[in-house]
Amino acid sequence: MSKRAAIEIRHVTKTFRLYHEHYDSLKEKMLHFGRTPSENFIAVNDIDIDIEEGTTVGVLGHNGSGKSTLLKCVAGILQPNEGEIVTRGRLAALLELGAGFHPELTGRENIFMNASILGLSKKDISNVFDEIVDFSELEKFIDMQVRHYSSGMYIRLGFAVAVNVDPDILLVDEVLSVGDEAFQRKCLERVAQFQREGRTILFVTHAADLVRRVCERAIVLDHGELVSDSAPGEAIRTFRETLQHSGLADPALDDAEAPAPDAAAGDTEHAEVPAAPISIGRQRAASATHKVKITNVTIDHPGLHVGRRWMLPDEALSIHISYHADEPTEDLLFGIAIHDEDGNDIFGTNTKRMDVPVPVADGDGQVTFDFEHVPLLDGTFLVSLAIQSTDEGTVHDWRDQEYQFEVMNPTRTVGLVSLPLEVRFGPPYAGHVEAIGS
Amino acid sequence: MPESVARAPRVAHERVVQPRSSIIERFRRIVTYHELLVGMTRKELKVKYKNSVLGFAWSLLNPLLYLVVFYVAFVKILGSGVPAFPIYLLSGLLVWNLFSTGLSGACTSVVSNSGLVKKVSFPREILPLAAIGSMLIHFFLQSLVLFAVLLAIQWDVAWAYMALLPLALIVLLVLTGGLGILLSATNVYLRDTQHFLELALLAWFWVTPIVYAFMTIGRRPGGWFKYAWMLNPVTPIVLIFQRAIYARLDNPDVPVGSAGHQILPHWGMAAYVGYLGYSLAFGIVIFAIGVAVFGRSEANFAEEL
């Protein structure tokens, strides 16, 4: 059975006029009449998508990508300049912080007002009032003016109202990222319940993990354009790419950390390592003798041969390292470490630990680390490389988290590691249930 | 998933968000949200005197203080000849206050509710209308007190004209609503509107026969002056309230024929209704303009605030 669209977004374009100065008063408007410095800014450009009833769709995009504007258009708060949006069913929206409460009114009064804006009659509201208060955990504060609420309480009340008014469509903008962990979990549980009940959820976020966990489909916006409309894995990958592009275009980010010029070689890219506290790796890198020097690093995986920047989980990965020794040097080890984006070690070894004999370095040499398959799930992984003496007392060269490769997880499995898994059903098993490796 | 069967799909709620919607469409949305209008009105009432000690008593104190000021200025100092001046004044002042406070409240309503406008979708016309609605409640309350006083002093009202009061009130609400919707939209883009309105209302107050008797104007030579005064759409409404409540056409203390003898015009019921018809036509035109302007500018409210 083909499902009806709960939200039809038809060629929606929204432009804003950006005033370089804002003239609010008549005098200013007269003075600058006709030449108010302004330009049109296209926030959302000709977006055309359908959202089927009962699906959960994530909208990803960096700041200023138009995702919140699009959501506001769907919510009916902004009207598009072109195109139209049809929504079917009661719609509850939670936009950014707060849900349109009046600061002078108490929590109780605001619940009634908010729910009536969402289209509930007074009787309906009385019926769900207790549930709303329960959900928000604000029993003690419900007769207090909302202006005395903390921002967390504000969100809790807003979310409680939105999910308890029996909406057919729920629009959520970044709200799930605030509040304490327990409340977040509660919200996610409610979202899961809505999914089971066949309600439609559209939510805007830049938390890619959340999209993978709860969405069946994700849309990526970049500068108002739809750049991806696909399964979460693929969309998240596209999202990361747009982030990187905009990151490189942003001068503020560019000079945040000037990378060593010789590190850019082959297909490697500088990791956008934030100015982390000085790690052991950094200290060791600083003490390098450079008697044996890494001259070039190439990271290779099957994806690069078919035009993808990323590899899939369990594909092979090769890291080719060219090095140069000014004079014959022996007593060497070559080390490699792989880190996640936060710099946590995932894997690390060296030629000594693996008992691999290392030839004497003299002039140019090459070493290759071949990973038969890399069972990582998703993300950008950073690579550190080192050349040291076998007792690790002397550092010849240490490249700390300077290289990276990306893995895209096409499945909806979450986590860091791709564990091979098969699932069987069968007669009751006497012992524990077992996952069988393939 | 057994739960998915439990929920009956709601087909009725289909909504289209478009760049423009017709005036009829806008009216229909206001009507479907009438319950919200009631709720918002209640909210306006609650918020207005929140954190004030006297609270609702201000609603009664305000016209009382006006009365004291005007009584001293006009009767004691200027020697106005209108007998039972307090009743004359209040019969026009209360309805004027509904107009002026309703309009001021409506004018700033969208701006002062920016928190709602930026977060939730509903017909925004509700905001100016609710501001006026809350003033209507104040008006009823004040009128109740006035009528109680009239009853206590056994004041004779003109019962025939009392029947016109609800009609006049409706006309006033159409007029105030239309102007309020119009100004609330312009005020979003041009904050001067609210300051300009203050001055305009002051002038408007003095071109409406509230503290002075209409016939002081009406008796001026060359009758055109009277008609010019009647162009003010609030004048017929105020006159009907005065005719019904104050109900004294002449001042018996002043000899017939001399200035100050006539207070209210000696018109028949038909003339009053006719002038009221003019006010209504004026109000409907303003209302249509207001809703049209509001509809055109509403699309960008959330950005401008």
A26-63 per-position pLDDT tens digit: 666 666 655 556 678 888 889 999 999 989 999 988 88
CA contacts within 13 A on the Cβ side of A413: 16
Q: Hey, are the CB atoms on A80 and B192 less than 8 Å from each other?
A: no
pLDDT at A270: 41
Q: Which residues of A touch B190 (CB under 8 A)?
A: 24-26, 29
Q: Does residue A101 contact residue B115 with C-beta atoms inside 8 Å?
A: yes
User: What pLDDT does B17 receive?
Assistant: 77
Measure the CA–CA gap between A318 and A321, rounded to whole angstroms: 10
Give the per-residue pLDDT at B286.
Answer: 95
Q: Per-residue pLDDT averaged across B265-283, rounded?
A: 92
Nearest by CB to residue A89, choosing from B1, B10, B115, is B10
Coil/strand/helix, residue B101: helix
Q: Do residues A202 and A59 touch, judged by C-beta distance below 8 A?
A: yes
pLDDT at A1: 43
Sign of the Cα pseudo-torsion (B172, B177, B179, B184, in order): positive
Is B14 in contact with A84 (Cβ distance < 8 A)? no
Collapsed DSSP state (helix, strand, coil) of residue B85: helix
Q: Return the pLDDT at B186.
A: 93
- For residue A366 the two structure tokens come to 């090459």
Nearest-10 crossing angle of helices A181-196, A151-164: 10
Which stretch of DSSP H or E encloses residue B283? helix B269-298
A135 touching B, CB under 8 A?
A: no
- A200 touches A7 (CB < 8 A): yes
Mutate to test the interface with A, among B50, B52, B121, B305 (most CBs of A within 10 A): B121
Measured between alpha carbons, how far is A268 from A266 in angstroms, rounded to an integer?
6
Distance from CA of A256 to the nearest CA of B (A): 33
* From A21-35, A61-75, B105-119, B231-245, the region with the lowest mean pLDDT: A21-35
> Are A223 and A66 spatial neighbours (Cβ–Cβ below 8 Å)?
yes
For A216, counting Cβ atoms within 10 Å of its Cβ (0-12 exposed, 13-18 middle, 19+ buried), the class is middle
Cα B279 from Cα B230, distance rounded (Å): 9
Secondary structure element (H or E) that encloses residue B250, with its range: none
Contact at CB, A122 and B51, closer than 8 angstroms? no
Please answer yes or no on whether A113 and B192 come within 8 Å at the CB atom: no
Look at the pTM and tell me if it is higher than 0.95: no
Best CA proximity match to B192, nearest among B106, B107, B291, B103:
B107
The number of beta carbons lying within 10 Å of the beta carbon of residue B87 is 21
**CA–CA separation, A15 and A46 (whole Å):** 11
How do A56-60 and A217-222 pair as beta strands? parallel
List C-alpha distances in Å: A390 to A355, A383, A399: 11, 20, 17
- ipTM computed for the complex: 0.75
Q: How far apart are CA B244 and CA B273, in angstroms?
A: 13
Q: Give the whole-angstrom CA distance, residue B9 versus residue B5.
A: 10
Q: Is B266 on the interface with A (CB under 8 A)?
A: no
Question: Alpha-carbon distance B128 to A410, whole Å?
Answer: 52
CB atoms closer than 10 angstroms to residue A139? 11
Q: What is the mean pLDDT of chain B?
A: 86
- Using an 8 Å Cβ cutoff, are B30 and B126 in contact? yes
Helix (H) or strand (E) holding B33: none
d(CA A280, CA A423): 42
CA A96 – CA B126 distance, rounded (Å)? 23
Phi, psi of A88 (to 5 degrees): -120, 120
Tokens matching residue A208 = 């890619």
Residue B4, pLDDT score: 41
Interface list for A 140-199 with B (CB within 8 A): 145, 168, 193, 196-199
Question: Which among A202, A187, A165, A210 is positioned nearest to A54, based on CA atoms?
Answer: A202
In this predicted structure, what is the pLDDT of residue B100? 96
Which three-class secondary structure state does DSSP give residue A10?
A: strand
Residue of B13, B15, B17, B197 to mutate, interface with A, max A Cβ within 10 Å: B17
Nearest CA distance, B228 vs chain A (angstrom): 30
A96: region left, alpha or beta (phi > 0 left; psi from -120 to 50 alpha): left
For residues A52 and A235, what is the distance between their CA atoms, to the nearest angstrom? 18
pLDDT of residue B117: 87
Q: Does A14 touch chain B (CB under 8 A)?
A: no
- Give how far the C-alpha of residue B135 lies from the chain's centroid of Cα atoms, to the nearest Å: 8
DSSP E strand stretches across A1-94: 5-19, 38-52, 56-60, 82-88, 91-94
Residues (pLDDT < 50) of chain A are 1, 248-278, 438
Q: Tell me the C-alpha distance between A267 and A246, whole Å.
A: 19
Q: Are A114 and B192 within 8 A, CB to CB?
A: no
pLDDT at B220: 60
Per residue in B122-167, pLDDT tens?
889 999 999 999 999 999 999 999 999 999 999 988 899 999 999 9
The half-sphere exposure of B41 on its side-chain side, counting CA atoms within 13 A, is: 16
From B195, B179, B288, select the one nearest B234 (Cα to Cα).
B179
Q: How do A82-88 and A200-205 pair as beta strands? A: unpaired
B40-78: b (≥16 Cβ within 10 Å) or e: bbbbbbbbbeeeeeeeeeebbeebeebbeebbeebeeee
Contact B285, B279 (CB under 8 A): no
In chain A, the percentage of residues whose pLDDT exceeds 90 is 18
Across the interface, of A85, A116, A197, the residue whose CB is closest to B7 is A197
Distance CA B201, CA B302 (A): 28
- pLDDT category at B11 given cuts 50, 70, 90 is very low
Mean pLDDT of chain A: 81
User: What confidence score (pLDDT) does residue B184 get?
Assistant: 95
The beta-carbon neighbor of A77 closest among B16, B118, B189 is: B118
Q: Provide Rg for chain B, Cα atoms.
A: 22
Is the predicted pLDDT of residue B6 greater than 80, yes or no?
Answer: no
The kind and range of the H/E element at A341 are: none
State mean pLDDT over B155-182: 94
